[in-house]
A and B are shown apart, each in its own frame.
Chain A
Amino acid sequence: MGALLWDSEALLALLLNVIVTLFVFALIARISLSQPGLALLAFFFLIYFSWRLVSVFYIDVFGPVVSEQLERSIGPGLAAVPLGACQVAVLLMLVVSFHPLRLKALAVASDFRTSSLLAAGRLDLFNLVFWVVVVFEVALWIEMLTRGPVPLFSKLERLDYSKQYGGFLHGRLMDWGPMLAFQLGLFFATPVLRGMRFDCRFGALFGSLMVYLLFVGHRFSSFFLYFSFFIMPLGSIVLGRSKAAGFDSSAFFRTLRALWLPVVGLGVLVLGALIYSYAVVRGAESELLQTKLTQRLLVQQGEMWWMTYERVFLHGDWNTALALFKLFVDPFNPNRNSTMQLLMELGLPVERAHTLFDLGVAYTGGWPEIFFELGGPVDGFVLVVLSAVMFSEFLFLLTRCVVQERYATCFFLTPILYAVEVNLASGMLNSFVQLTFMTKLGVAIFVYVLEGRWRARVIASTSLQTDRATVLKREVTP
């Protein structure tokens, strides 16, 4: 009877896990098919959410499984259920923020674009940006080739290279790289708004950046992150112009499909980097490789969430005051993500966690773990929904700026975008209370208002001239 009960409980847990996981995947598929622009815009999170959910599902269903990083067994359980609920909240908020009615209003508002408002003049913006980035990338390559060993050939790990040999420009790229990728994507895609083809010069610059990353020992995560940021403006354009009268989305996707060769090239690059990394740089033995891959693909993505699930949902153990204190007042290293530091201190022996922090190690996860550590099992969901609202509304704002060709605003919004994305990926909250972020936010608001008011004035002036011309024409015409 007991075994039967256990079986029925296990079956129920399995059913719940399967239903929630399938529901999230179905929602992602539905959004991707009905709103391909949204899939491009939130590409990073769709993949990241899926991966984490699969990992947690694996821990729930195939647990107890050994976690090498936590040095303990985790699972089984129902951790996929609350995680799936959080992910559904984000996906639904995206659907609400990018509702067809709002997109229709945006399409009308974005008929006035910067390129159509400006008189002809000197110093083409695209040429200027292109040459600035060319100079940066050439200097980057020269710096890498002249500073010492090339990690790809010297079997150096990327973090070791950055610490030991990385020069000034390399350091700047590591800090600002995804944001540069976003800007490259913006200048690559926006000519489409003027009925032109993609500006492939910026695609080539992005490709060169990817090859550089391969040379300095990067593997999947960096390529994935940079690529996600690069395609975000494409998603914004599809979303922002999808309801516009003159926009031919099928032609847009035809043009996009024509770029299959570079995308396949990038895929091959990533695959090659991964194989090279595991087979040569790390020199993994074949029997160990399977364990390593299982840990990397199926355990490490979900283990921190499982720990929070066990603490908060199973044991009712959370401490808001402690979490706030460790997040904002006294983190071990205030210059890094304090969320993961808190989660690691809670999940590991403190001394081991501190040793790992000293080595610069941070485990995967952070969102939505941190909101449940702050608010417990009920209020945690409220915090998750608030973060989802912030994320989706910020993406809508960004989309508006992209389709209206507000290049200055987009430039200054990019660091905020990065902070928002990092928040939703790794739960980082302490970046929002730092002086540098406040400064970036202040400057972004200033530029947003300046460009917005300037555009409104230029549009008003253009409309007035058009009206006068129409009146004059009517008066002159017999």
Chain B
Amino acid sequence: MNDQSASISTVSYVGGMFAYLVRSVRSRLKITVLAVLVAALIVFAADWMRPVVYAAQAVMRVGRVDGADVAPMSSIVFQMNSVSFKRRAVGGADESVDSGDKGHKLILDSFVVRPATSDMLTLFVGAASEHTATEAIQAAVRVLNADQEKIRAIALSELDTQITLVDSNIASLTRIRESLASPGSIASSAESDPASLMLRRVWLLDLIARNEEKLAAATSERRALAERIGPSKTYPATLVDDVAIRQISPNPFRHAIFAAGIVLLLMLVYAMVRKPISI
């Protein structure tokens, strides 16, 4: 077959196939249409009867102590995606919201945490109502904070100990400053020897100056410690914004169209395969 035909007519090529498809389908038009409609109706009805499911999404800023993450980001993601954490979170949500076993399972199956940025996580959950979904996410944050409280408490108690020490140091330095500033601090031999008096006064001024320096350093250290446990550097995990919620199920129109498309494809192939080749 070494034909030399130089061209392939697109009209004949595509038109020929289309005409063949039309001829194949025409002989089974009724059953094709019927099958597509039945499939679409069944899927529509089945999907329509499914319980309502809402998907909630929220962004959470992970907690920090003294400017550092309470735990590495990957550990937090791993912990929050673990089954035991989810169970505790769902249990936490249950205290305020009463939902059935299916509701539990839905939340347990759908709860997923993913890293979003270096200090933020995205939380996803599916639930039977908007309120339950919001509660589940808030409960997850509460449970995480409760879990991290042990680590946070140790770090905070260390800082508190340091603050207590610095506070006592400041109090002691303040007392010394007051006693040095009192008029009787150099009064005992003031009248006897002017030279000695001058020397004592110089010595006293030196003591006061050194005490002031130490007091200033201690105050500055106290301020730094206060800043380290202050809200800019130490805070629990919190939701950054409101929980975004949308209904994901049922979606009968969408699923019915999908089903109709799949059945139509199958029926078209069936119609072509069943049509005899011979003329």
Contact = CB atoms under 8 A, between A and B. Distances in A.
Is B truly associated with A?
Answer: yes
A120 B4 contact: no
Given A351-B73, A442-B265, A457-B277, A246 B2 contact: yes
B279 A464 contact: yes
Interface stretch (A44-52, A147-155, A443-451): A443-451
B17 interface: yes
A63 interface: no
Contacts of A433: none
A458 B9 CA distance: 15
B9 A453 contact: no
A350 B269 CA distance: 47
A196 interface: yes
Given A454-B17, A458-B16, A115 B74 contact: no
Contacts of B269: 445-446, 449
Nearest to A442: B265
B43 to A, nearest CB: 16
A50 to B, nearest CB: 37
Given A458-B16, A460-B279, A123 B3 contact: no
Contacts of B161: none
A111 interface: yes
Interface stretch (A124-132, A210-218, A423-431): A124-132
Given A126-B7, A196-B6, A457 B268 contact: no
A122 B265 CA distance: 30
Contacts of A119: 9, 12
A116 B13 contact: no
Nearest to A457: B277
Given A118-B16, A446-B269, A124 B9 contact: yes
B9 A118 contact: yes
B279 A461 contact: yes
A251 to B, nearest CB: 12
Contacts of B11: 121-123
A461 B278 CA distance: 8
Interface string A132-167: 000000000000000000000000000000000000
Interface in B232-279: 262, 265, 268-269, 272-273, 275, 277-279
B262 A128 contact: no
Nearest to A194: B3
B21 interface: yes
A284 B115 CA distance: 35
Given A115-B5, A194-B3, A442-B262, A450 B12 contact: no
A113 interface: yes
Given A111-B1, A120-B9, A196-B6, A446 B268 contact: yes
Nearest to A454: B20
Contacts of A442: 262, 265
A450 B272 contact: yes
A116 B10 contact: no
A460 B277 contact: yes
B72 interface: yes
Contact of B10 (A123, A196, A446): A123
Given A124-B9, A125-B7, 7 more contacts: A125-B9, A194-B6, A354-B74, A450-B21, A453-B277, A460-B279, A461-B279
29 contacts: A111-B1, A116-B1, A118-B5, A118-B8, A118-B13, A118-B16, A120-B5, A121-B9, A121-B10, A121-B12, A123-B9, A125-B7, A125-B13, A127-B7, A195-B2, A195-B4, A196-B4, A332-B114, A351-B74, A407-B13, A442-B262, A446-B265, A449-B273, A450-B20, A451-B17, A454-B16, A454-B20, A456-B277, A458-B16
